[in-house]
């Protein structure tokens, strides 16, 4: 009797263990040595979760004792050419019958989420059954009135579809399909009729308020659909003012709101770090430094491998000394006559610091162009050019005389005598290493040549890593502004 009870309890426990995992049974067709694949979305990419050999009767069972994270998954055919989406959330034991003619879902049993999705697809197909005719009529419309009539029909169908989604979301607020519908819903930016600046601002703030309405940034299911990352990117393009301080606040909003879910926390940290470590816009590297100081240095980011951690930390240390608006680091070097000189000894309205070497192909193209602009336009605006030889960082003691001779010959041949030319000997470089003093490469983030910085009269960084053309645009803009203020 006791043994029977024990076996009964073990059997029940085993069934409960299976129930806590997932089991997706699929009926396909016999394919010799063929596999079906279960994949999932993570951001805008797809990954394989499992692969199972198709049985002689066409049956496939994807199963594991660990449950799947709710999300939008894909079932892929043996040739890896066709797939269909399937929703997986709380119900993780269900079966699918595949229409073998076109590799689509013929029937799903045991999953209300997918039945709801099929119902939505049927309703939408009904609303838009005349869509092709509308498009044809729209392309052939001869008057604005004709176009308006067709557009009205299309808008009406769109409103019916949105009403279906809204009604479903209201009835099933925790459903994964509801989360997808929330991601699909576009916020309204209603600026028509705005009479004042405040009216326009209110419209903008209302747009932002709608954008993430009823969406939790700690919901890991967000990552199991490409819609979330697309929406996130669009948010920063349309709803965030393009200024480093504003962007910092926005990033903190996502990161801090996701702390209760380690996966989401890691996702936001990794995404924003990758985006702002080498930003698209000049001056936005301070956003990366903000992330570094607020989350990396306190030890909140504890999942990186050593090589990735070193990459982040080295990048941060390379940026700390060259923030736009801050004073540039001084450079104590030697001039062409081997006399000691520093950057701050150069007195000028603007100082252009150019890190270059004569053997660099890109330098050979850019340096003459830069010098021509300097002679013809910039010099009269109070600009001085300081050229820094970068070659010596990689030069040993024996080769230094040849490197210096090559440098001097280039200066002479290209008539760069009007520049201030500075360099560092290998001995000076070794002394920095011995005393753990940052060199010019780290201080100015110089890892390619030419690297160009523009400094103001107080040697504050105005612009960095810019081209000669961008320098010219900036100086001409400043000159035009000065002229308009002082006629």
Region 28-39: mean pLDDT is 96
**Considering the entire predicted model, what is its pTM?**
0.84
- Mean pLDDT across 212-240: 95
CA dist., res. 437 & res. 331, Å (int): 12
pLDDT score at 203: 86
Q: Is the pLDDT of residue 398 over 70?
A: yes
Rounded-to-integer distance, Cα 287 and Cα 327, Å: 18
CA distances from 469 to 227, 354, 358, 452 (A): 39, 14, 20, 11
**Does 332-485 match 18-110 at the fold level?**
no
pLDDT > 60? residue 8: no
Average pLDDT of the residues in 381-403: 88
Closest CA to 247 of 285, 295, 282, 287: 287
Cis preceding-peptide flag for 450 (omega within 30 of 0): yes
Among the residue ranges 170-174, 198-202, 369-373, 421-425, the one predicted with the least confidence is 198-202
pLDDT of residue 13: 45
User: CB–CB of 25/60 below 8 Å?
Assistant: yes
Average pLDDT over residues 403-412: 94
At 317-337, the pLDDT tens digits run 999 999 999 999 999 999 999
Domains of the chain: which residue ranges?
18-110, 125-181, 212-226+237-319, 332-485
| pLDDT level of residue 18 (50, 70, 90 thresholds) | very low
- Mean pLDDT of all residues in the chain? 91
Other beta carbons within 10 Å of 450: 23
Residue linked to tokens 């929703």: 87
Res 477 pLDDT > 80: yes
**Angle value at C-alpha 139, between 133 and 141, nearest 5 degrees:** 95
Over residues 247-302, the pLDDT tens digits come to 999 999 999 999 999 999 999 999 999 999 999 999 999 999 999 999 999 999 99
For the domain made up of 18-110, the CATH class stated in words is mainly beta
| Percent residues over pLDDT 70 in the chain | 94
Query: 332-485: what fold?
Result: Glutaredoxin (3.40.30)
User: Rounded to an integer, what distance in angstroms lies between the CA atom of residue 254 and that of residue 231?
Assistant: 13
Q: Write down the pLDDT at residue 483.
A: 57
Which range is least confidently modeled, 62-66, 201-205, 373-377?
A: 201-205
Dihedral sign for Cα atoms in the order 262, 267, 272, 274: positive
pLDDT of residue 44: 83
CA atoms lying within 13 Å on the CB side of residue 293: 10
> Which helix (H) or strand (E) element contains residue 437?
none
Q: Which of 144, 181, 22 is nearest to 93 (CA)?
A: 22
pLDDT > 90 fraction of the chain, expressed in percent and rounded: 84
């Amino acid at each position: 009797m006791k043994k029977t009870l024990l076996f009964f309890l073990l059997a029940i426990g085993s069934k409960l263990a299976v129930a806590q995992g997932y089991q997706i049974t699929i009926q396909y067709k016999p394919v010799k040595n063929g596999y079906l694949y279960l994949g999932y979305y993570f951001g805008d990419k797809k990954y394989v979760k499992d692969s199972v050999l198709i049985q002689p009767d066409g049956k496939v069972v994807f199963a594991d004792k660990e449950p799947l994270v709710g999300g939008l998954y894909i079932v892929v055919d043996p040739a890896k050419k066709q797939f269909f989406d399937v929703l997986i959330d709380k119900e993780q034991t269900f079966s699918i019958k595949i229409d073998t003619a076109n590799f689509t879902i013929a029937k799903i049993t045991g999953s209300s989420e997918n039945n709801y999705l099929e119902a939505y697809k049927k309703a939408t197909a009904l609303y838009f059954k005349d869509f092709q005719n509308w498009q044809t009529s729209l392309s052939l419309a001869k008057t604005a009135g004709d176009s308006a009539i067709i557009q009205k029909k299309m808008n009406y169908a769109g409103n019916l579809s949105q009403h279906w989604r809204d009604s479903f979301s209201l009835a099933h607020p925790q459903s994964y399909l509801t989360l997808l519908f929330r991601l699909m819903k576009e916020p309204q930016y209603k600026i028509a009729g705005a009479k004042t600046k405040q009216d326009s601002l209110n419209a903008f703030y209302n747009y932002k308020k709608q954008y993430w309405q009823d969406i939790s940034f700690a919901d890991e299911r967000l990552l199991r659909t490409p819609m979330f990352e697309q929406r996130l990117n669009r948010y920063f393009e349309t709803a965030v003012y393009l200024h480093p301080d504003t962007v910092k606040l926005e990033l903190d909003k996502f990161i801090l709101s996701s702390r209760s879910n380690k996966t989401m926390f890691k996702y936001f940290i990794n995404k924003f770090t990758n985006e702002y470590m080498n930003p698209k816009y000049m001056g936005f590297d301070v956003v990366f430094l903000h992330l570094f100081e607020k989350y990396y240095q306190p030890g909140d980011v504890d999942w990186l491998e050593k090589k990735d951690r070193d990459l982040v930390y080295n990048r941060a240390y390379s940026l700390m000394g060259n923030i736009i608006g801050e004073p540039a680091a001084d450079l104590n070097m030697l001039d062409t006559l081997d006399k000691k000189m520093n950057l701050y000894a150069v007195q000028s309205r603007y100082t252009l610091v150019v890190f270059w070497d004569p053997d660099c192909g890109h330098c050979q193209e850019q340096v003459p162009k830069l010098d021509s602009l300097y002679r013809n336009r910039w010099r009269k605006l109070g600009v001085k050019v300081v050229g820094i030889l970068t070659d010596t960082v990689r030069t040993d003691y024996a080769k230094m005389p040849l490197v210096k001779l090559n440098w001097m010959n280039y200066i002479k041949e290209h008539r760069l005598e009007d520049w201030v030319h500075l360099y560092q000997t290998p001995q000076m470089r070794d002394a920095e290493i011995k005393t753990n003093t940052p060199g010019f490469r780290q201080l100015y983030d110089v890892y390619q040549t030419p690297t160009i910085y523009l400094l103001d009269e107080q040697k504050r960084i105005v612009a960095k890593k810019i081209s000669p053309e961008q320098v010219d645009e900036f100086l001409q803009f400043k000159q035009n502004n000065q002229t308009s203020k002082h006629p």
